Chain A
Amino acid sequence: MTATALVVLIVSLAVVWGGLAASTVYLRRHPEEDDGASATPTAPIVMHDL
């Protein structure tokens, strides 16, 4: 492989797979919270006609 192609390969893998790894790690550190407080409806829905 040429050096340019190799660099592009490495950089793209680092960005895309790195993005996947980073977002997965973030989600693991901030897991879903318990279902609860937010489920209490307080405001009636307003139907908007077009």
Chain B
Amino acid sequence: MAHSPRPKREQWSGQRGFILAAIGSAIGLGNIWRFPGVAYENGGGAFLIPYLVALLTAGIPVLLFDYAIGHRFRGSAPTAFRRLAKRAELLGWFQVAICFVIILYYTVIIAWSASYLGFSVTRAWGDDPAGFFTGSFLQVAQAPGVSLDIVPGVAWPLLLIWVLVLAVLALGVQKGLERANVIGLPVLVVLFLAMVLRALFLPGALDGLNAFFTPDWSALSDPGVWIAAYSQIFFSLSVAFGIMVTYSSYLKRKTNLTATGLVVGFANSSFELLAGIGVFAALGFMAQQQGTTIAELDGIAGVSLAFIAFPQIISMMPGGPIFGVLFFASLTLAGLTSLLSLLQVVSAAFQEKFGLSIRQGAIRVGGVAAVVSLALFSTSTALPVLDTVDKYVNEVGIVASAIFATVLVTWVLRRLPELQRHLNAVSTLQIGTWWRWLVGVVVPGVLLVMFVSGLVDLVAHGYGDYPRWFTNTLGWGMLAAIVAGAFVLTALRWRHSPDEFVPDALPDVVPAAARPPRGTSTTPKELVP
């Protein structure tokens, strides 16, 4: 079959550009609004022990697993997985579909945050931040459902964010994504540090830190705390749904992958810890102003932390508007760099399968996402819809994707030794057999426990106070749509066949032609796990 020449694959300018982009992707909204609350509720200072164990035994090993697949097979998730094994393309598209759905609502939260950046200057929420957020700003409908009533105050900022990110995406990996992260990430760190420093000098800040760091050692014997730690690490690092596979596919051949993974993993946790300090110093101040304690505060995580508690804090403190601008600018930037990585997963997959140019990929795929996102999430029912979709896509979709990927590569395809050799061939920091045990046994084991406990809870109790028809349609329905989308996209024809790709030869590897036929045993030692 004759093929028209395909354009040369894009590349990061070097390791530095990749590291900044990978850190930018890992540091997202969850680092700022999820980690502090999760740590506090799961043993405070004691939580940091399971958290670090999870980082070293699951987070960084899976990060390296993603890097190895993307770097060795040099493609977006569907291409890379197909090059591992033809039918594994489906898993790649499953990950792409998950990213597509997350993009739809992630963009909206960034648009809210950008709006609040402006609201902070005048403290537009007055003395009722909760009423302002759900009432004047989001105009949340009385009953959950899917309304088509567009809220202009949400729709315009959302449109602006879409124009901005699609423009960056259309510039390509080096001129778009890399430049955005090279500028955005240092700015984020500086703004966030300034916010944390200000928070530390507020009255009551030390009480907040006390609450956050005082260890409850008994939590260590609670399996739920360990699951929470693994979940936090897993969701925070942007692993197992295509991002790191896609990003690492743009790296040069000779790249110190393992050391890079350590830098990215520790950088993500460093920022997260900083966020814990900043958020709890600010909450300590709020508790003191309200004459209460941290333990009695409600809504100290997620949407309510950012859009209700922080506005309250901003209203209470001297110099509040500056603090507000620092906080919401940080939240917006952290979200934007993560959003770009999600978009690249989808855009790259479509570029490769359908032979689109970089610009076509960005505009066509991004354009469709923008329209769906505006239709579904600039309306009065955005909040319950995104809350529900996020819960199901994360706890069922992403966790299932990670289990499939690790089990497939380890136990079905038995290609983990090949990935280990690849990592070692290009890196100076060598990894041993322990890595295969972690990726092949520990990670799927822990994820399976997370998956089953999450699934049982969702099946038995639904989610939150939402009616069953609502969670069934938007939670399970969205997951069904993701699976259906993955099947359809896998079935479509490739514009250029990706199968002629030849991965790098590895040291001490048996040439493919000399391998025994399938079904006969190979070196047993390599297959464990």
Contacts and interface: CB of A to CB of B under 8 A. Distances in A.
A11 B92 CA distance: 40
A20 B45 contact: no
Nearest to A21: B266
Given A8-B48, A27-B260, A50-B88, A42 B412 contact: no
Interface in B392-438: 408, 412-413, 415, 425-426, 428-429
Contact of B210 (A2, A13, A17, A20): A2
B436 to A, nearest CB: 18
Given A39-B504, A45-B503, A50-B85, A5 B213 contact: yes
Interface string A1-36: 110111011001101110110011011001111111
Contacts of B501: 45
A41 B503 contact: yes
A40 B505 contact: yes
B15 interface: yes
B293 interface: no
A45 B413 CA distance: 14
B263 interface: yes
A32 B502 contact: no
A50 B412 contact: yes
A44 B412 CA distance: 21
A20 to B, nearest CB: 4
A30 B270 contact: no
B209 interface: yes
Contacts of A32: 14-15, 252, 254-256
A30 B209 contact: no
Contacts of B48: 8, 12
Interface residues of B, number: 56
Given A5-B45, A49-B85, A49-B87, A13 B273 contact: yes
A33 to B, nearest CB: 5
Contacts of A42: 505, 511
Given A41-B505, A44-B512, A49-B86, A23 B262 contact: yes
A38 B502 CA distance: 12
Nearest to B412: A50
B259 interface: yes
Contacts, number: 137
Contact of A16 (B52, B210, B500, B503): B52
A4 to B, nearest CB: 6
A35 B206 contact: no
A48 B81 CA distance: 11
B175 interface: no
A26 B440 CA distance: 27
A1 B214 CA distance: 9
A19 B518 CA distance: 43
B267 interface: yes
Contacts of A45: 83, 499-503, 512
Given A13-B273, A30-B256, A4 B502 contact: no
Contact of A34 (B254, B408, B502): B254
B515 interface: yes
B52 A15 contact: yes
A42 B507 CA distance: 11
Given A12-B48, A45-B512, A47-B499, A4 B83 contact: no
Interface of A: 1-2, 4-6, 8-9, 12-13, 15-17, 19-20, 23-24, 26-27, 30-36, 38-50
27 contacts: A1-B209, A4-B214, A5-B210, A5-B212, A5-B214, A8-B48, A15-B52, A19-B270, A20-B263, A23-B259, A23-B266, A27-B15, A27-B263, A31-B256, A32-B255, A38-B253, A39-B504, A40-B504, A40-B505, A41-B502, A41-B503, A43-B505, A45-B501, A47-B85, A48-B413, A50-B85, A50-B87
Given A4-B45, A5-B209, A45-B499, 7 more contacts: A8-B214, A9-B213, A9-B277, A19-B266, A32-B14, A45-B502, A47-B85
